[in-house]
Structure 1
Amino acid sequence: MSELSEKNLEEVVMKIMSQTTEKGGNLTRNQPDDELSKLKQKVDTLLQPPPEFKTGDVVKWKKGLKNKKYPEEEQLVMVIQELEEPIIQSERDSGTPYFREPLDLILGVLDQDGDLMLYHYDKRRF
């Protein structure tokens, strides 16, 4: 992934915002600055360099970056393994949020029955 400068990031976000509001998307026309601020904050959070994870670390989703059903928003999970090379699933349709998502972190999650389930995630989200 290429690095974005602060100026480039702001230009990209402004372009997205103008396209969305012009098309009558999910954003309200009377609060674009608030939406822009939220979007920029979440993008900044996602693009922060992730820490090095070690087996046994306990983690949870970064606020606003949950993109899968499990774990729950505040549920604590345990790092099983950080992969050296991410798994890139290119089979998914490019119209989904999972297209080319780098899966480089295996986490242990307790399901509703208390069973341990292992899932792959993008480490930038934790």
Structure 2
Amino acid sequence: MSDDMVDQSEENQPKTLVAPSAPDFLTIFRQEEEAELAKYKSYANSAVYADHLQRALASLQDPSEFQAGDLVQWKTFLRGAAYPAYGSPAIVVEFIDRAEGVDADDERDDVVIGYLNGDQDLRMITTDSRRLTPWDASARK
């Protein structure tokens, strides 16, 4: 093939990836939001909701003491993040000195906890220490 000839075969043409359009993502997002709202409304209208709400507050108001290196887990009704899973341990990494005057609608994230993800890498998140309790190894399934 000479320098003036250009290969126009399909194999040598740039490939374009077709991604879902923005409205598709928006539709999926809205459907997930609607499903979460329906789930909440169902639970909020259940006979146990008020009792669970009161138990959550009582648990939040009953703090535990921790230090770096302690294994902890979420208190019932108080998981503040998707990970670690309920009943699974996390490790206290450090405490954060939060300034006074935090907005009332803000979480009071005052502790860094770590957990190992599925790739066995340590991930860290901040959370409100009132959401945590010492890990109970005997409760593992």
Contact 2:80/2:127, CA 8 A, preserved across alignment: no
Distance 2:66 2:121 in 1: 23
Q: Which runs of 5+ in 2 are unaligned?
A: 1-40, 133-141
Q: TM-score, normalised to structure 2's length?
A: 0.56
1:1-126 residue pairs with structure 2 within 5 A?
A: 25-26=41-42, 27-28=44-45, 31=47, 34-48=48-62, 50-85=63-98, 99-126=105-132
Contact 1:86/1:104, CA 8 A, preserved across alignment: no
Contact 1:88/1:103, CA 8 A, preserved across alignment: no
Higher relative contact order (CA 8 A, sep 6+): 2
Q: CA deviation at 1:86?
A: 6.1
In structure 2, the residue corresponding to 1:119 is in which secondary structure?
strand
In structure 2, the residue corresponding to 1:106 is in which secondary structure?
strand
Normalized per residue, the structure richer in strand is 1
Q: TM-score, normalised to structure 1's length?
A: 0.62
Q: Which runs of 5+ in 1 are unaligned?
A: 1-24
Q: CA deviation at 1:85?
A: 2.0
1:39-79 Cα shifts (integer Å, max 9, x gaps): 1111111122x222111100000011112111111111100
- Give the fraction of aligned pairs with identical amino acids, expressed as a percent: 26
Runs of 4+ residues deviating >4 angstroms: 86-90
In structure 2, the residue corresponding to 1:85 is in which secondary structure?
coil
Aligned length: 91
